[in-house]
Structure 1
Amino acid sequence: MVTIRLLLLCIATFASTHSIAFNNDTLRVASSANFAKPVEALLAEFAKQHPHRPMISVASTGVLYQQLRHGAPFDIFFAADIRRPQLLEQQGLIEEHHRKTYAIGQIALWSNTQKGPISLADLQDYKGRIAMAAPHLAPYGNAAKQVLVKRNLWRYFHQQLITGNNINQTYQQTLTGAVDYGFISYSQLLTSTQGNGVLIDNSLHTPLEQQVVVLKNAANLELARKFYQYVLSEQGQKIIADFGYLTADKATDAVPVSDQADSLPPNNGTKPATQTKKTQ
């Protein structure tokens, strides 16, 4: 009997030891949908100095926040806002001094059916449906709603919306032609090889300040800390900027919603100088 117990103890110890060894090179990343491609690029560069096995889960910020509240096993979380990271901090779920802004997001209006340049003014006479991420789940969806409200267009479209759980679903809905127009991230517009789009003026919505946190119960805490520092480093910030985001140092310069936006003429809702045109 003693021999059997000893054997079981040895097996358990062996399994536990190898499980720890397996986890030592795994970094579990929770990423808001808008940041899926940038975080892959960041992890690839980070791996050159710190070899690891990344496991990335992509969803809306709201969905990931709920998962983290209920104990989801992530090491680091890239949110699309500052509210959820702040709540996680208040709930004692993150490492002390490991909550910071890593990027300022931007949104774009995009179409895969319109053959020429588009602008926000096109929506004034448009009678069809538009796509956006669900405002209560996704900060980018909330920003899109603010744009429509500022342009006095929300009352025309709020019952004609096709909403996705995150910005990636919105991209797919617009890509397939299910709708003629969709609000996506500017990063998605830059990396898309189809359609036509335009960057939305940041003054039409609250700043999309995005924060990253390291989770207190991270299985690979040391690796998560190193990746956190890398994302905030000069090299990491350059990669983020290449994907169409404003860098973290611009956080205090982000333009708040102007009370004068309602009185702007229709074509001032866009920035023609930064318009990105893409054709099939």
Structure 2
Amino acid sequence: MLCTIASVFQRRREAMGSRTYRTTDASASMYFRIAFLAVVAVFLGAACSRPDGQGAQGNDDVLIAAAADLRFALNDIVTLYLEETGIEVTVNYGSTGLMTQQIENGAPIDLFLAADLSFAQRLYEGGHSSGEPVPYALGYLALAVPEGGVLPNLADIRELSDPRYEVIAIANPSHAPYGTAAFRFLEGAGLLEELRPRLVYGENVLDTLRLVQTGSADLGLVAAAFLPNARDFHGVLLEPERYEPLLQTAVLTNGGANIEGGRQFLEFIMSPVGAEVLSRYLFGIPE
């Protein structure tokens, strides 16, 4: 079912920002409210800025919400799509779970690229999509340490409990699929309860990486898609046999002004051109 994972990493790209988050149950609700208002402001700003009232996206431009693990791969795909079609694509990246709530509350987007199946299915079953979920990629986990840090020996997975990994970062499993996958990986390795006191949480998997990059965490379970873009950290792919890879899934939403444009962009993602980019960023391609 899985395609061959690319073995050659791309060169480093521009450095990511250093802002980090540590989530508590109390702060998650506030984060959602702020994030929702920010997303709506971005999308409504794009939709309402044209004097003819048709919105900045006009008849062509596409508004997308995408899981944070796509931050680098999708940027490349958006650039290629613009070069080929002349159509602008605006992307907001974040936690799949929080973006699902934003869509349910009316965020006006055309296409949602989720990090797993469950949230996309939730939108479909709740009547917030114009069609069934469509798998577009398989997401994998990686271990990451700050630059100069020592990675655990994967031949002995219990090295994750080494005292040098005093703080371990994962995405918040309450709304981030990569956090759920990290939980399940640790549980399957028999380490979850032992390591739970050391865990800190990023709002999404990109924020989790930033905890590692800034040295706020000694070890992180992040998206393998970040490895080709490694800067201020280094990492190693976790063998997919140790956990269930994420079936990343797309839905066309009902709230957008250009659903057909979203459909065409999704077709581009799933074309040989898009699949080649995803493979370079260590995504698998569903059959």
Flag whether TM exceeds 0.5 (same fold): yes
Write the deviation string for residues 112-170 of structure 1: whole angstroms up to 9, x where unpaired. Answer: 15545543433132351100101111111111111111111111211221101101111
Q: Is the 8 A contact 1:118 1:198 kept in 2?
A: no
Runs of at least 5 residues in structure 2 that lack an aligned partner in the other structure = 1-48
The answer to which of 114-123 and 99-108 deviates more is 114-123
Aligned to 2:212: 174
Instruction: State how 1:90-239 maps to structure 2 within 5 Å.
Output: 90-97=125-132, 99-120=133-154, 121=157, 122-126=159-163, 128-239=166-277
How far apart, in 2, do the equivalents of 1:44 and 1:198 lie?
A: 28
- Structure 1 counterpart of 2:153, one-letter code: S
- SS where residue 80 of structure 1 aligns? coil
Instruction: Read off the aligned partner of 1:221 and give its amino acid letter.
Output: I
Q: Aligned pairs, how many? A: 234
* 8 A contact 1:118–1:196 mirrored in 2: no
Give the unaligned 5+ runs of structure 1. Answer: 1-14, 250-280
Query: Aligned equivalents of 1:91 and 1:82: distance in 2?
Result: 14
Q: Secondary structure of 1:23's partner?
A: coil
Tell me the CA shift for residue 183 of structure 1: 0.7
Shifted more, 16-25 versus 154-163: the winner is 16-25
Counterpart AA for 1:102 = Y
Q: Post-superposition shift, 1:203?
A: 2.2
For 1:17 and 1:216, the matched residues in 2 are separated by 24
Residue identity (%): 26
**DSSP-derived class of the 2:261 partner:** helix
Q: State the 1:109 CA deviation.
A: 0.6
Q: Distance in 2 between matches of 1:115 and 1:91?
A: 45
1:113–1:226 CA distance, 2 compared to 1 (3 A): closer
Cα 1:52–1:116 shift into 2, 3 Å: same
Q: Is the CA contact (8 Å cut-off) linking 2:144 and 2:151 kept in structure 1?
A: no
CA contact (8 A) 2:212 2:233 kept: no
> How far off its partner does 1:217 sit?
2.9
Moved more, 58-67 or 85-94: 85-94
Q: TM-score normalized by structure 2?
A: 0.76
- CA–CA distance in structure 2, aligned partners of residues 215 and 21 of structure 1: 18
Q: What does the per-residue CA deviation read over 1:82-101, in whole Å, with 9 as the maximum and x for residues that have no partner?
A: 0111111112221235x211
Residues of 1 paired with 2:56 and 2:50: CA distance? 10
> Larger helix proportion, structure 1 or 2?
1
Q: Indicate the SS of the match to 2:248.
A: strand
Instruction: Give the Å deviation of 1:222.
Output: 2.1
Measure the CA separation in 2 of the matches of 1:75 and 1:111.
36
Indicate the residue corresponding to 1:10 in structure 2: none
Secondary structure of the residue aligned to 2:53 is helix
Match of 1:20 in 2: 54
Q: Considering only CA atoms, is the larger Rg found in Structure 1 or Structure 2?
A: 1
Residue identity opposite 1:205 in structure 2: Y
Report the residue type matching 1:134 in the other structure. Answer: N
Q: Which has the larger displacement, 177-186 or 196-205?
A: 196-205
Letter aligned with residue 271 of structure 2 = S
Q: Which residue of 1 aligns with 2:91?
A: 56
Q: CA deviation at 1:226?
A: 0.7
Higher relative contact order (CA 8 A, sep 6+): 2
Please give the TM-score of this superposition, normalised by the length of structure 1.
Answer: 0.78
Q: Aligned match of 1:47 in 60, 66, 82?
A: 82
Rounded Cα–Cα distance in structure 1 between residues aligned with 2:51 and 2:86: 20
Where does residue 77 of structure 1 map in the other structure?
Answer: 112
> Cα 1:178–1:16, aligned 2, differ >3 Å: closer, same or farther?
closer
In the TM superposition, residue 16 of structure 1 has moved relative to its aligned partner by 8.1
Name the CA distance, whole Å, in 1 between partners of 2:75 and 2:234. 25
Q: Contact 1:34–1:167 (CA<8 Å) still a contact in 2?
A: yes
Deviations 1:166-192 (Å, cap 9, x if unpaired)?
Answer: 011111100111121011111112211
1:65-106 alpha-carbon deviations (Å, 9 max, x no partner)? 000011101110100000111111112221235x21100001
